[in-house]
Amino acid sequence: MKKVIIIDDEAAGRTLIKQYLTHYPDLILLAEANNGVDAVRLINEFKPDLVFLDIQMPGLSGFEVLKRIDEIPQVIFSTAYDQYALQAFEVHAVDYLLKPYTRDRFAQAVGRVLAADSTNVQKMQPFAESLINTTTYPEKILVQVGNRLLTVNVADMMWIDAEGDYSKLITTKGNYLSNYGISALEIKLNPQQFLRVHRGSIINLGFVKEIQKYPNNYDVIMQNADVVRVSRSYMDKIKELTF
């Protein structure tokens, strides 16, 4: 059995793939998304074996999605643009479906997935690591204060707290409200520096004072004395830092 996620900004594209997948009982659809930001979140959450991935999407392209996920699954690109084919195979995609494609062409791509072993996934991991090493991240973020737009230095951000569809930036210079949701900020920030520890919290590792370990959870104490709770689903990330 292989777990599948579909990422395509067009509903018709997602529907077609879902229809074709009904002929493959060994492929189990877990989730779908219509943009790159949700794609990163879903792939990191569900850790699928196979992703059908569009390339041109709002927010993040398919290639940018691959730069930001924790583990690289098998990927079948599905796009209306043929100019990305070479780049797709450079990232060791299993196949490249050029829209519009037939059921037979889809079957050919899926056949490659079902016939493949873990070697394909292993080949993609070094490439993912090289992408992370070459990715650039913003040094400043714009926030609105009244009728003014101010720049906040990313290096001054101690931690981030979700505020509904917005995010509160707790910085060394004060607190600010960002129009970005916390998941969008997570994708924009350097994962080597900023760590998601809760669905509503991201911490800057450079401002961690101590980590308090309890039987069933962790608390992160920041340098400004704020206490950030680590939820169960993110405890493994903290364990990697403490053991």
From first to last of its 243 residues, what are the pLDDT tens digits of the chain?
A: 899 999 999 999 999 999 999 999 999 999 999 999 899 999 999 999 999 999 888 778 888 898 889 888 999 998 887 676 666 766 678 888 888 889 999 999 999 888 875 445 444 545 445 444 545 678 888 888 878 888 999 999 999 999 988 899 999 999 999 888 888 888 778 888 899 899 899 999 999 999 998 887 889 999 999 999 998 877 777 777 765
Q: Give Cα separations from 40 to 31, 37, 189, 240 (angstroms).
A: 12, 5, 13, 21
pTM of the shown model: 0.55
> Residue 9 has which token pair?
């900004």
CA-based nearest residue to 142, from 163, 167, 164: 167
- Give me the domains of the chain, ranges plus CATH numbers: 2-134 (3.40.50.2300), 140-242 (2.40.50.1020)
How many CB atoms sit inside 10 A of residue 234's CB?
17
